């Protein structure tokens, strides 16, 4: 699937599934990118990779030839947004969007003048996106994270921002913003689910994509069935730990049973 295919699919609100990567491990990222996910998102905000890791990760995703590479940038600022796009990202997920003005700033950072503020220096991205500015402007995805109380309150105006392709729920921060003592706090489960309805309905009304981060494939399927149009699954670090732990448990349990 090409970058253009993924862009068109997400913009058309067609179901899409992605994977989340936080490790600076190009070889494992490439293997994941061959599995069939529509996109692999590299986390430059909380992930364990710097710019060189970002560049290597995007190169590995492209080598897989199946998934598009997205980047969750570290901040709503033209510099990290531009660097991610110059490195070859098909689009960016921008954190901590509180208002429509914040969303407009994010869009502007992904567009070349006169439409926006992106500085011209496409480097690696010129191999596949552009290098004509108009081609890049037409192809790059920009997604705004809804993860704060203010962002939730202003979600309708955010979704209506010209040029914004969609919104993306950060469930951990949104849970805390709603008063949860920790991510996934069951004490506010009802309020959290209500918030998810608010976000997806605002996106539907505006005709933009609605995405969400999920801990596993079953939850991703549930959110898509509820009306979210794309979902990211877990992360490579989480899965590494989970699988390693399960093998250790199996080995110990079976060995002990054999001794009895």
The catalytic residues are 46
Backbone angles phi, psi at 249, to 5 degrees: -60, -45
Beta pairing partners, 40 = 19, 69
Q: Which residue has 């190169």 as its token pair?
A: 59
| Gap between the Cα atoms of 139 and 129, Å rounded | 7
- Write out the chain in H/E/C secondary structure: CCHHHHHHHHHCCCCEEEEEECCCCHHHHHHHCCCCCCEEEEECCCCCCCHHHHHHHHHHHHHHCCCEEEEECCCCCHHHHHHHHHCCCCEEEECCCCCHHHHHHHHHHCCCCCCCCCCCCCHHHHHCCCCCHHHHHHHCEEEEEECCHHHHHCHHHHHCCCCCCEEEECHHHHHHHCCCCCCCCHHHHHHHHHHHHHHHHHHHHHCCEEEEEECCHHHHHHHHHHCCCEEEECCHHHHHHHHHHHHHHHHHHHHHHHHC
Beta pairing partners, 141 = 91
- The closest of 158, 132, 77 to 110, measured between CA atoms, is 77
């Amino acid at each position: 699937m090409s970058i253009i295919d993924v862009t068109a699919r997400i913009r058309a609100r067609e179901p899409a599934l992605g994977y989340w990567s936080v490790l600076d491990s190009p070889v494992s990222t490439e293997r994941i990118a061959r599995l069939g996910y529509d996109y692999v998102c590299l986390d430059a905000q909380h992930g364990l990779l710097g710019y060189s890791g970002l560049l290597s990760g995007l190169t590995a995703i492209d080598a897989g030839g199946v998934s598009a590479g997205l980047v969750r940038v570290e901040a709503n600022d033209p510099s990290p947004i531009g660097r991610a796009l110059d490195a070859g990202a098909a689009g960016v997920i921008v954190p901590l969007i509180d208002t429509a003005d914040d969303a407009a700033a994010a869009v502007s950072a992904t567009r070349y003048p006169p439409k926006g503020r992106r500085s011209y220096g496409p480097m690696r991205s010129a191999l596949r996106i552009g290098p004509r500015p108009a081609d890049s402007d037409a192809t790059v995805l920009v997604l705004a994270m809804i993860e704060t109380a203010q962002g939730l309150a202003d979600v309708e105006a955010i979704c209506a921002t010209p040029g914004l392709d969609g919104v993306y729920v950060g469930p951990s921060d949104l849970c805390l913003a709603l008063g949860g003592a920790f991510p996934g706090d069951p004490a506010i489960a009802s309020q959290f689910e209500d918030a998810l309805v608010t976000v997806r309905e605002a996106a539907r009304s505006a005709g933009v994509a609605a995405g969400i981060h999920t801990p596993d494939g079953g939850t991703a399927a549930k959110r898509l069935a509820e009306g979210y149009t794309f979902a990211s699954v877990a992360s490579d670090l989480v899965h590494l730990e989970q699988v390693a732990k399960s093998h250790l448990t199996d080995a110990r349990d079976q060995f002990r049973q054999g001794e009895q």
